[in-house]
Amino acid sequence: MGDARREMKLGMFFAPGGHHLAAWRHPDAYPAGFSLDSYVKAARTAERGCFDLLFVADVFSLTPSANRADSFRFEPITLLSALAMATSRIGLVGTATTSFNEPYNVARKFASLDHISGGRAGWNIVTSSSPIEALNFGYDAHIEHAERYARASEFVEVVRKLWDSCEDGALVIDKPAGAFFDKNRVHQIDHKGTYYKVRGPLSLPRCPQGNPVLVQAGSSEAGMILAAGVAEVIFTIQRTLEGAKDFYAGIKAKAVAAGRDPGHALVMPGVLPYVGRTRQEAQDKHDLLLSLIHPEAGLSALSKLMEVDLMSSDIEKPFASLDIAGLTQTRALGVVETARKEGLSIREVYERLVVSKGHRQIVGTASDIADIMQEWFEASACDGFNLMPPMMPNGLDDFVELVIPELQRRGIFRQSYRGNTLRDHLGLPRPAGRRQS
Ligand SMILES: Cc1cc2nc3c(=O)[nH]c(=O)nc-3n(C[C@H](O)[C@H](O)[C@H](O)COP(=O)(O)O)c2cc1C
């Protein structure tokens, strides 16, 4: 049996139809259409499986390809507030971009969610990965990469100051004295930086968690520095054990260099498990989804990753014949390297490497899947995983029914929740607050 401190963390990354590019075309996907219902059911299933958190991503634009399901989405805070009422323990993590928001608004929304949910909120800090978003906010092109991270860093600083602007215990509700709150325990922040000027204080009492949990998924050097400097949960794309170990060691070293406890920067790579009662059943599930990929969807996903229009390409041609120069994204570079080394066709590249958005896929029985998860967890390659069910709802149902009990039997995952807040689940301390008197 593993001891309590060595239990893996599990996130449930929600995508309505599933994370596989073609999942939405599966006959069992979208049983409730585009509705809150499917989110509520999934949140409750994940809570039954004792997941640490439910995560919803966000993009402020519509993906142009009509063959894809990752286009329409609910606004995360509205959605998570609804899910807070349908669940009682699971953490609720939503994305908000620092590129097209104001710190005051973001601080207020996540603080509200933390109060509404009784201490279960988390903020996934992004600088916006889709360049189209900029076009919806008065820009002609995305803000340059280094500048968006400089803004993000100051943005997070302001949000944290706002969260700490009201001390614990400031809300006194002293009816005889006529004092609703204690003025001496509520502070202006008077922030004047390069990008933001914010007086504060925030118009909410301090959160149940002190601060909502900070989550980040940067993979560039600037992204990793932000993640290691502030994030308490770090999502990442890792396909190989060696790569995951390097990333893990890199994040932990950067966290230490930033003066943090590396145990409070939890690394959680994404994983797409195809779970079967037999290996053949798992393989059949995997193969069925592959057969459902519309070539346009494959090419659109590949174009997005490579940041060039590949829509008119012949998918049976070698990937190496494509004219792709000037790539900077690490994820795209990794795909190019594998494709060239293995001599893959364009179709094989999107089938093998792009359908899962670059994340690790595992095809097998519950025991096969638990073996790999345990190996990564025990080899200092991760602190847990962000589950990305290839299809919904079955991918999550199978995982909770078959894989969770296997992880529990091995003593590497909790049998039941021990606390009420997301910080309790993740073993993270409640920040003291910088303005406590
Ligand atoms: C699991 C996961 C979830 C992500 N969610 C979002 C998201 O909701 N919105 C977004 O704009 N970017 C999202 N990203 C992208 C990252 O924030 C980041 O931009 C990307 O990993 C590239 O790293 P870089 O920004 O350091 O170049 C996500 C990445 C991962 C791995």
Q: What are the residue ranges spanned by the domains of the chain?
A: 4-271+360-426
Strands (E), 47-158: 53-56, 91-97, 121-126
Q: Is the pTM of this model over 0.85?
A: yes
CB 350 within 8 A of CB 313: no
Say if ligand 1 is within 6 A of residue 267 CB. no
Torsions phi, psi for 13 (to 5 deg): -85, 110
Say if ligand 1 is within 6 A of residue 127 CB. yes
Structure tokens, 236: 């990442």
**CA of 223, closest atom in ligand 1:** 26
What type of residue sits at position 89?
R
Q: How many whole angstroms from 405 Cα to the centroid of ligand 1?
A: 30
Mutate to test the pocket of ligand 1, among 133, 219, 254, 331 (most ligand atoms within 8 A of CB): 219
**CA of 357, closest atom in ligand 1:** 31
* Fold entry, domain 4-271+360-426: TIM Barrel (3.20.20)
CA 44 – CA 135 distance, rounded (Å): 36
Per-residue pLDDT in tens (0 to 9) along the chain, 437 residues: 444 458 999 999 999 899 999 999 999 998 888 899 999 999 999 999 999 999 999 999 987 778 888 778 999 999 999 999 999 999 999 999 999 999 999 999 999 999 999 999 999 999 998 889 999 999 999 999 999 999 999 999 999 999 999 999 999 999 999 999 999 999 999 999 999 999 999 999 999 999 999 999 988 999 999 999 999 999 999 989 999 999 999 999 999 999 999 999 999 999 999 999 999 999 999 999 999 999 999 999 998 888 889 999 999 999 999 888 777 677 788 888 889 999 999 999 999 888 998 899 999 999 999 999 999 999 999 999 999 999 999 999 999 999 999 999 999 999 999 999 999 999 999 999 887 77
For ligand 1, atom 1: residue with the closest CA: 235
For ligand 1, atom 18: residue with the closest CA: 218
Nearest CA-CA partner of 91 in 212, 266, 262: 212
Q: Indicate the SS3 state at residue 67.
A: coil
**CA of 270, closest atom in ligand 1:** 1
Q: How many whole angstroms from 97 Cα to the centroid of ligand 1?
A: 10
Structure tokens, 256: 């230490």
Helices 103-117 and 76-86: crossing angle in degrees, nearest 10, is 10
Q: How many whole angstroms from 269 Cα to the centroid of ligand 1?
A: 12
Q: How many whole angstroms from 17 Cα to the centroid of ligand 1?
A: 20
Say if ligand 1 is within 6 A of residue 126 CB. yes
